[in-house]
A and B are shown apart, each in its own frame.
Chain A
Amino acid sequence: MRKAKFLILICAAAAVLSLALVDRAQDNAGVIKVEVHLVEVYATVFDHKGYYVDGLGRGSFEVYEDGKRQQISSFETQSQGLSCAILLDTSGSMAEALPRVKNSIVKFIDQLDSHDMVAIYTFDQRLVTRQEFTTDKGMAKRAVLRTRAEGGTALFDSLSEVSLETSARSGKKAIVVFTDGDDNSSALTANTTASRAAKLGIPLYAIAAGEATRSKHLRATLNELSQRTGGATYEVKRPTDTEGVFLDVTHDLQHLYMISYHAPAGPADGRWRKIDLAVKGMKKYSIRAKEGYYPD
């Protein structure tokens, strides 16, 4: 086990997969719609010294929604395959940093398991799919190496779209985003993006560099995004830290559990649902995940 270097947040990540969409104002009268929500909770478990705890089974976890215990319907351990979307800022300001970042991402891809899938997206003022989800690490690395820096920064639009696209995949998922500057080209607001990311609940690992580490507003947004999804935010203070930060993210991803349960039936009032996650008999363990969700 490797010691975690960052603040441990005790919360729970949740994703609500709406299997039936409900139109509010213009519902078709006479049609009875049944909503079934599957809530996905991503968790990383640490012992009292801050070391990752691996090897826990389905029976080790207890999950509660609004204080009521829920039955776990599926469970994936840290050793099972992951769909990891990498979203790389290639706006003009990245010109200097990009070569180093590209090398770090290539090494990051090498660290993923052979059965993990990876997709490469880049964004400036637009979102570009460089490589769809693949287990072919060579293709993913070539896609990274082909990128170049130009244009503005549409972080929020790109993140929302990648979250939506990644959410359609089954199994464990994660998004790693690297950015060096504040958003200046999006059509969606930070709040809208945070709200969507929280609803989808895919753990977001945000890596901020350059101007992004100096912008209070952006740092707060990235922190909110990662906390609400059960991911984490990292800062690259010096260019030479880049590789180490990506290595930290790799370790995080390698110790991720996914627990899902069917949301209890209740009124579609959009009210906050609190989630508590615990490891049976291990009160000293801390769990990083999201603390609840707003149903869609």
Chain B
Amino acid sequence: MSGLDQAHQAFFEANASRTSQFYKLFEHSDEMRHVSVLGMRSSLSGFFRSVPLDREGRLDFPGSPELWAVAAGHSATDAHINKLLKKVSKTAAPEVEDSVLLRLAETHSRDSHTVQHSELDNFLAVSRIDAHRAEPLDERSALILAQRYDEYGGAYAYFTDLTALTASDFTQFFAAADHIKSHPPLAANFQLGELDALVEWICLLRRRQAIGDNEARKLFQYVADHFASAADVAAYADASLDSSRAILAACNAGNGQASPDDQIRACMLGVNGAQLSSVRGKAFQGVLGRQNVPRLENLFSVFDAVKTLSGNGPMHDEISTLRTDVAGLPRIELPQDIKSLGKEKDVLISYGLADATKRVEEMAQKAGKRKPNRKAIQKLAQELLAQLQPQITAALAGPVYAYFLRPTDLVVSEDPLLLRKHRYFDYVSPEAIRGSLIAESRFVPQSEGTGSYFEGGFALFGVGAGQAAVVGWKSGAGSSADAAVAQIAALRGTIWDSLTEVDQRLLALRIAIAGEWIFESARVPEAFEALNDATIGLLSLSRRADLLNGIKARDWRKAQEAVTLADRLSLGGKYLEHFKSDPWQSPVARELREVAGENTAPHLDVLGPLRHHALGCPHSHLLSDAPYEEYERHLFPSEVAERAAEFKVYLAYLADRVGVGPAALADVAEPLLDKAFRSAQLTEPRDWHSLLAAYASVSAADLETALQP
């Protein structure tokens, strides 16, 4: 309980019965019995931290409490969902919310990948989506999401961006994915790649606020409808190109004359970031170049020509256009040992253009006849479109790669086939298509065969990109790969231009006032009492004791060392909540109130870690987290790595001290992180203390050097 924030501590300790029941549950959990939590999606302690509470500290059930009394997971036909909804309407609200939670926690199952999970996983996943929305999920939406979690949980991070979706949108998306399941694995791999890429485009545009919530919903509907009704391979190509055009039109970045390739770069990076003279724009284009990504402009031109050919107009010009466009698509060099590669070989070979070129020549031949057979030419045009599906998949996925990866990442610079090896689902395994079709992204390193690849969709691709980026990453002593993954993921997902100078000043003032608060607590009893309260659930028991005892003993070193920079930032936020007027006079407090008054909706979340574990989303959130120590005992260090991915806070604080605005940080953040990691001396992977010391080692001189052109 000491590891929970105040609100959750209050909830679980509201009465003896609740405390006792949840203690018993925890006492008998695998986690408590020190059984490996490998394969468990949610730990109980994680659940205790994440239970959604409303402002009054009551459980906030997505949909309704009744729904969670009947949700049973693992079955998701429309008929079954309707049946469950009827049952919900007849179920009386449980008197004690605990009974619902306990039922969820005690219902366990295993999916096809032998991952053990309980209904709590469904509940937390749905409540995390709910927490991101302005309008709460209705019962039907919540039930659909709960029931489809086993199968499509890997896509749920998308729904934390697309927060206006309704039950019919979710249903149509799942129908589109189910439809893909009915196709042969290799074709399904490309179709799923297109679907994932388009949805991620919408998410990235939404995240940058290049499109509104309702616009994002409409685009999502458009994509899902097209994919759910695609009848053949050519129809998927058609659906992909048509949808991508609709997305670009909605974003409307740059001028109308820009090529679609320039447009998508501007939509994803913002007009300034997308300039090819900028570091970010250059890097984006560098990834596309190194991965030989086909140009959207070429493919749109093919698409238009095929459409024109389906009418009754003249054919020669269109066929000539097709010839030029197909010739302009990138050729790839296949590995020498390609013959020994099984299904991977088939995927890579399908990127070849010999058949597409042949189709164009056949069309030209037929069109050259005195009485050309228009229907036969139209059929060939559709076949051509189908044959270009791998190229279309690469063209749509390419910008997502370019957004999250860098041309200097070893796997990007050294492996030109990385993008084309992407397994949108595990098509190599015959069972996979019947299982969870959409999985969260992950990077699969291997030095055998064709080498490493990405697996899964693009939901949480930032984390997968972090895993890829640390290949060859130079660090100081100690195993810090997880820390580097979490931090790179947090940096690359950052939309720096949403952070203002006032935000940065607010951050620095919060940190400064926390320092004063600690110091003044020795003199002002009211301040000490408030600090005592504010540190509950923020500091571990031992660090809290060090802080409070240090203050009492005037041992300032001990007191100051008990709190990290992020702890101070959190305390600074609590200062304004605790004190409506300042208990001591200070210019810092005065300026803080002034700046906080001006900046009522700060963008400090931008500076937080990417909350993959905590919130199941691809966004940075600056939360008042449980103490670092709470995460140390997990078998894998990825959770403590996420918790301690606080480099951006250190960087923004340093920038404020030096007088550098946040706009300048985007280009220098990663080189400075690299410097910090080279100096890191971790004793073991969970050594967050040494990690934070490495972040703090980046100096003003380092920042100034990095800023020099």
Residue among B292, B336, B449, B678 making CB contact with A129, cutoff 8 Å: B678
* B288 interface residue (CB < 8 Å to A): yes
Contact A188 B471 (CB under 8 A): yes
Contact B474 A185 (CB under 8 A): no
Contact pick for A27, options B289, B413, B447, B481, CB 8 Å: B289
Q: Does residue A20 face the partner (Cβ distance < 8 Å to B)?
A: no
Mark out the residues of chain A between 115 and 151 whose CB falls within 8 Å of any chain B CB in the assembled complex: 121, 125-129, 146, 151
Check: B414 CB closer than 8 A to any chain A CB.
Answer: yes
A74: interface (CB < 8 Å)? no
**Nearest A residue to B480, CB-CB:** A126
Q: Does B294 contact A (CB under 8 A)?
A: yes
Nearest CB of chain A from residue B354's CB, rounded to whole Å: 18
**Is the pair B452, A187 in contact by a Cβ cutoff of 8 Å?**
yes
Q: When chains A and B are docked, how far (Å) is the Cα of A201 from the Cα of B276?
A: 31
Q: A151-B479, A160-B410 are in contact. Are A187 and B474 (CB under 8 A)?
A: no
Q: Which residues of A contact B257 (CB under 8 A)?
A: none
Q: Are B288 and A23 in contact (CB under 8 A)?
A: yes
Are A188 and B451 in touch, CB under 8 angstroms? yes
Nearest-neighbour CB distance to chain B for A42, whole angstroms, equals 22
A89 in the interface (beta carbon within 8 A): no
Q: Is A60 positioned at the interface, with any CB of B under 8 Å from its CB?
A: no
A125 CA / B285 CA spacing, docked (Å): 30
Residue with the greatest number of chain A CB neighbours at <10 A, chosen from B276, B470, B472: B472
Complex alpha-carbon distance, A23 and B281, angstroms: 13
Q: Flag if B472 contacts A26 (CB, 8 Å).
A: no
A178-233 with Cβ < 8 A to chain B: 183, 185-193, 196
**In the bound complex, how far is the Cα of B399 from the Cα of A26, in angstroms?**
11
Judging by beta carbons under 8 Å apart, are B481 and A126 in contact?
A: yes
Contact B471 A128 (CB under 8 A): no
Residue pair B330, A24 in contact (C-beta under 8 Å): yes
**Most chain A CB inside 10 Å of its own CB: which residue of B293, B335, B447, B448:** B447
Contact across chains for A161 and B289 when beta carbons are under 8 A apart? no
* B146 to A: closest C-beta gap in Å: 37
Interface residues on A, range: 35 or more
Chain A facing B: main interface SS: loop
Contact B445 A185 (CB under 8 A): yes
| Complex Cα spacing A183 to B678, Å | 23
Interface string of A159-170 (1 = CB under 8 A from B): 011001100000
Report the minimum CB–CB distance from A20 to chain B (whole Å). Answer: 12
**Which chain A positions have C-beta within 8 A of B330?**
24-25
Q: Nearest chain B CB to A257's CB is how many angstroms away? A: 29
Cβ A187 vs Cβ B479 within 8 A: no
Which A-chain residue is minimally distant from B443 (CB atoms)? Answer: A187
Q: Select one of B288, B410, B449 contacting A157, CB under 8 A.
A: B410
Summarize B's interface: helix, strand, loop or mixed.
Answer: loop
Contacts of B481 on A, CB cut-off 8 Å?
Answer: 125-126
**Judging by beta carbons under 8 Å apart, are B286 and A23 in contact?**
yes
Interface residue? B603 (CB, 8 A): no
B295 lies within 8 A of A192 (CB): no
| Interchain CB contact under 8 A, B292 and A127 | no
Contact partners of B452 in chain A: CB under 8 A: 187-188
A158 x B472 contact (CB < 8 A):
yes
The smallest beta-carbon distance between B428 and chain A, in angstroms, is 18
B414 touches A160 (CB 8 A): yes
Interface residue? B476 (CB, 8 A): yes
Contacts of A183 in B (CB 8 A): 447
Check if B179 is an interface residue, CB within 8 A of chain A: no
Give the contacts of B261-317 with A (CB-CB under 8 A): 261, 276, 285-286, 288-290, 292-295
A270 to B292, CA, bound (A): 15
Set of chain B residues within 8 Å of A128, measured between Cβ atoms: 474-477
Residues of B within 8 A of A125 (CB): 481
Taking the nearest CB of chain A, how far is it from the CB of B400, in angstroms? 14
- Which of A21, A128, A196 has the largest number of chain B CB atoms within 10 A? A128
Closest B residue by C-beta to A188:
B414
Tell me whether A192 and B474 are in contact in the complex, defined as CB-CB below 8 angstroms, given that A151-B479, A186-B445, A187-B410 are known contacts. no
Instruction: Let me know if A157 and B477 touch, CB within 8 A.
Output: no
Residue from A25, A129, A196 in contact with B293 in the complex, judged by beta carbons closer than 8 Å: A25
CA distance A190 to B449 in the complex (A): 10
CB–CB A26/B447 < 8 A: no
A143 to chain B, nearest CB (A): 10
Determine if B288 and A192 form an interchain contact, defined as CB atoms under 8 angstroms apart. Answer: no
Give B539-587 interface residues, CB cut-off 8 Å to A.
none
The 8 closest A-B pairs by CB, nearest first: A23-B289, A161-B472, A187-B445, A25-B330, A26-B288, A186-B447, A187-B452, A187-B471
- List chain B positions with a Cβ less than 8 A from chain A: 261, 276, 285-286, 288-290, 292-295, 330, 333, 335-336, 410-411, 413-415, 443, 445-452, 468, 470-477, 479-481, 678
